[in-house]
Structure 1
Amino acid sequence: MEASNIMDLEAFRQFCSQKKGVMECFPFDFETLVMKVGSKMFALTAINVRPLRINLKCDPFIAEELRAEFAAVQPGYHMNKRHWNTVTVDGSIPKEKILWMIDHSYDLVFKGLKKSEREEIRGKKT
């Protein structure tokens, strides 16, 4: 697989941080980077593990489809396995598909925020 198809940690961080209301934190330890939208996490990864592995929230039906399609998509490690996938970024999944999975996770979590928090992120005052 060509190198341009592989997302590294910095590309992951940059892609996530461009979304509205996103912040980075290390709430568990100094190695597990958590990306949150508002008060809820939508992605996390171990910063010292290669290849990059990203836990992403996913609709349960889509999660099953992705796991069947890609060996690099597994039930979420240390997460609710019905709602989270662990995606190993080893070049076997097209980069565009990984970006879509990140977007999907962000969207699911954003929709689950309280209305006041969603509106604050959108820039509206409640």
Structure 2
Amino acid sequence: MRHRAGSTTRHPWGDGSVDRVNGRELQKCAAARARELPASTLEFPFGPDFDVFKVRGKMFMFHAKVEGEPQVILKALPSDSMSLRAAHADITPGYHMNKQHWISLHPGGTLTAEMVDELVTESYRLVVAGLPKGQQPVEPETFGRGQRA
């Protein structure tokens, strides 16, 4: 995970380690990654309790508290969404969103900071791919594949 100071901390993913994220860390980690992405903006169209991250006016992530639990809601391909939900109890259909195209990340389970970074990047990439070519801040086919922004 890249921090603002430029240092890098490696987070294990799927190896049984205990580097898991709680609710506050989940949203902080996701927001930190979203802020690194080119042309990403933070807005509050649903009020001060919902942090909405957009690229060129299109939402790719938002934070919500559902029944007191902090969640991160992200765009995902339907096939990936199904696979992720099957593999991780802490990934569910997107809260108040199209259940095929959006997922909710819940704290305290198997999610690691690295996995959250990857899911945020993938959500961003999917939204960028839907933008007109002239508005795309990055090449969606290659961005985030093996390198950091």
Q: TM-score, normalised by structure 2?
A: 0.72
Give the partner amino acid of 2:75: K
Q: 1:9 to 1:93 in 2, by over 3 A?
A: closer
1:110 pairs with 2:128: yes
Determine if the alignment matches structure 1 residue 60 to structure 2 residue 78.
yes
CA distance in 2 between counterparts of 1:85 and 1:12 reads 13
SS of residue in 2 equivalent to 1:20:
coil
Cα deviation 1:61-116 (Å, max 9, x = unaligned):
01000000001111111000010001112242222222111111010001111222
Is 2:65 the partner of 1:44?
no
Give aligned pairs, total: 119
Q: Output the amino acid matched with 2:44.
A: F
SS in 2 for 1:52: strand
* TM superposition shift of 1:57: 0.2
Indicate how the Cα distance of structure 1 residues 81 and 109 shifts in structure 2: closer, same or farther if over 3 A, else same.
same
1:94 aligns with 2:94: no
- What's the C-alpha RMSD, in Å, of the aligned pairs? 2.0
Percent of aligned pairs sharing the same letter: 29
- Say if 2:57 is the partner of 1:12: no
SS at match of 2:52: strand
- Report the AA paired with residue 92 of structure 2: Q
Say if 1:98 and 1:33 are closer, same or farther in 2 by CA, change over 3 A: same
Q: Is the 8 A contact 2:26 2:116 kept in 1?
A: no
**Counterparts in 2 of 1:77 and 1:48: CA distance versus 1, 3 Å:** closer
- CA gap 1:113/1:76 in 2 versus in 1, 3 angstroms: same
Residue 29 (1) aligns with residue 44 (2): no
TM-score (norm 1): 0.84
Tell me the SS of whatever aligns to 2:48: coil
* 1:40 aligned partner, one-letter code: K
Which one-letter code corresponds to 1:85 in the other structure? I
**Counterpart amino acid of 2:101?**
H
For residue 82 of structure 1, what is the aligned residue in structure 2? 100
